[in-house]
Amino acid sequence: MKEQTLKTQNEVTWTLICSVFSSVLGSVQVGFHTGNINSPQMIIEAFFNVTWMLRYGERMSPHMLTLLWSLTVSILALGATISSFFVAMLANHFGRRKSILMINLFSLFAVVLMSASKMANYIELLIVGRFVMGLFCGLAMTLIPLYIQEVAPTHLRGAFSTMNQLSYAMGIFIGQVVSLESVLGTDKWWPFMLTMSIVPAILQMLTLPFCPESPRYLFINCQREQEGVQELQRLRGTPDVWGEVGEMKEEAAQLLDAPEVTLCQLFTLPSYKRPIVITFVINCSTQLSGFNALINYSTKIFLGAGVPHAQLTTLGVGIVNILSIIMSVLLVEKTGRRTLLLIGQLTMAFCNILLVISVATMDLIGPYVFLIFASVLLGAALYTWFQVPETKGRTFKDVAAEFHQADPILMNNTNKLEPRQAPRGH
């Protein structure tokens, strides 16, 4: 009977599928604006030159053109970095689902600015629009995985979380396709091409309001137990969800009993320092892997290396990216997160070394820039091997307990505290 109950609770329901699908429409937007700026580089640079000529009566210098184009590409990451600091405040105040809906306002506003840049002959509108889109990207790429992890069953959390990355890769590929010169990447249509992300944005705003809020958020952040149970029952398709309810109640009680932690302790106590360092290393290995450089500049890199049909080769990069993520979806619950992370880090390090050999020219340090990426990945792989724990099939409470075991100071302080009253439902 117990095995049958667990099986029923862990079934994948249409409500769960629709919730994940609706949430990752935000990741499609992020990927789209990551991949669509690559192929039409020369056309947009020509727009920069024309605008500069109208404004100052002379052509833009190559140095200024390179500087402005680099700013246009990289300012997306700057916006994402800034907005990421506000994720926790937004998610805890408004909830996961409502926050994902709200940030679409950034996306829609960014699209308006970017698409109007050519009509108004203002380079600044394109750059500011990319920055605003970056604000959306930083929030979306943190809120969406958080929502997915909290609505998915523990044994399927890895596979469902990978859907966020798959949607991001699909967005990159769609952006690469529509930005081709044979599609919308032309002097006339590139501003319209930038507006195409409005489709998943509107679709998400129409569907996500009908999806459940994160039960974990309702239990732990809001202490709205009855509502949390109802949302969990919708997600699991059964009224028998008391096993998960008990786990969340226990986690909520532990959080209430936990001592307050200062900013200094956050970076010194082993129970907090280790997960922070793990998060930092993994994110550095992702952002400094060379992937973003290849996605943003692959057409120019392939042209410089003498590769024929550089734009089509860029599409090949997008296809390989999608296929590798599909493999991760199929393997993540079998091999584990840590193993796939190690394989990815080592493979990308090897590919960066190959790029050093194959690329003939780049500015500043030339092809040896990929040696920097390779070094970061090799260092991250060593850290992953020795320090990163496996989380396959483990609850949030289990993972947190492993870190707390390494911190006798925190455990002693917790034991000295008098138990507080557990949260009650409203």
pLDDT digits (tens, 9 = 90+) for 336-358: 777 877 887 788 787 777 766 66
- Ramachandran region, residue 298 (left: φ > 0; alpha: ψ -120 to 50; beta: rest): alpha
What is residue 253's predicted lDDT score, i.e. its pLDDT? 78
Residue 10 has pLDDT above 90, yes or no: no
User: Are 278 and 272 spatial neighbours (Cβ–Cβ below 8 Å)?
Assistant: no
- Say if 206 falls within a structural domain: yes
- Tokens in use for 16? 């769960």
Residue 359 has pLDDT above 60, yes or no: no
Confidence grade of residue 413 (pLDDT, cut at 50, 70, 90): very low
- Say if 48 falls within a structural domain: yes
Residues 142, 395: Cα–Cα separation, whole Å: 19
Residue 169 has pLDDT above 80, yes or no: yes
CA triple 85-86-89, angle to 5 deg: 130
What is residue 20's predicted lDDT score, i.e. its pLDDT? 95
What is residue 393's predicted lDDT score, i.e. its pLDDT? 67
pLDDT digits (tens, 9 = 90+) for 62-98: 999 999 998 999 899 899 989 999 999 999 999 999 9
What is residue 374's predicted lDDT score, i.e. its pLDDT? 80
Least confident span in 206-210, 316-320, 409-413:
409-413
Residue 365 has pLDDT above 80, yes or no: no
Phi then psi for 331, rounded to 5 degrees? Answer: -105, -20
- Say if 347 falls within a structural domain: no
- Say if 233 falls within a structural domain: no
Confidence grade of residue 403 (pLDDT, cut at 50, 70, 90): low
For residue 199, the enclosing domain spans 1-211
Residues 389, 402: Cα–Cα separation, whole Å: 9
Give the count of domains, the chain. Answer: 1
Confidence grade of residue 233 (pLDDT, cut at 50, 70, 90): very high
Residue 33 has pLDDT above 70, yes or no: yes
- Ramachandran region, residue 140 (left: φ > 0; alpha: ψ -120 to 50; beta: rest): alpha
User: Are 193 and 52 spatial neighbours (Cβ–Cβ below 8 Å)?
Assistant: no
Residue 275 has pLDDT above 60, yes or no: yes
User: Are 228 and 240 spatial neighbours (Cβ–Cβ below 8 Å)?
Assistant: no
User: Are 197 and 111 spatial neighbours (Cβ–Cβ below 8 Å)?
Assistant: yes
Residue 360 has pLDDT above 80, yes or no: no
User: Are 393 and 332 spatial neighbours (Cβ–Cβ below 8 Å)?
Assistant: no
pLDDT digits (tens, 9 = 90+) for 213-224: 999 999 888 889
- Say if 172 falls within a structural domain: yes
- The DSSP-derived string for 274-304 is HHHHHHHHHHHHHHTSSHHHHHHHHHHHHHH
- Say if 271 falls within a structural domain: no
- How high is the mean pLDDT of the chain? 82
What is residue 270's predicted lDDT score, i.e. its pLDDT? 72
Least confident span in 7-11, 54-58, 195-199, 313-317:
7-11
pLDDT digits (tens, 9 = 90+) for 132-151: 999 999 999 999 999 999 99
What is residue 305's predicted lDDT score, i.e. its pLDDT? 67
Q: In CATH, what number is assigned to the domain containing residue 29?
A: 1.20.1250.20
pLDDT digits (tens, 9 = 90+) for 177-209: 999 988 999 999 999 999 999 999 999 999 999
Confidence grade of residue 411 (pLDDT, cut at 50, 70, 90): very low
User: Are 219 and 249 spatial neighbours (Cβ–Cβ below 8 Å)?
Assistant: yes
Q: Is the pTM of this model over 0.85?
A: no
Residue 408 has pLDDT above 90, yes or no: no
Confidence grade of residue 373 (pLDDT, cut at 50, 70, 90): confident
Confidence grade of residue 27 (pLDDT, cut at 50, 70, 90): very high
- Say if 329 falls within a structural domain: no
The alpha carbon dihedral of 52, 56, 57, 63 has a sign of negative
CA triple 298-300-306, angle to 5 deg: 100
- What is the mean predicted confidence (pLDDT) over 326-335? 76
Residue 123 has pLDDT above 90, yes or no: yes
- Say if 403 falls within a structural domain: no
SS3 content of the chain, % helix, strand, coil (to 5): 80, 0, 20
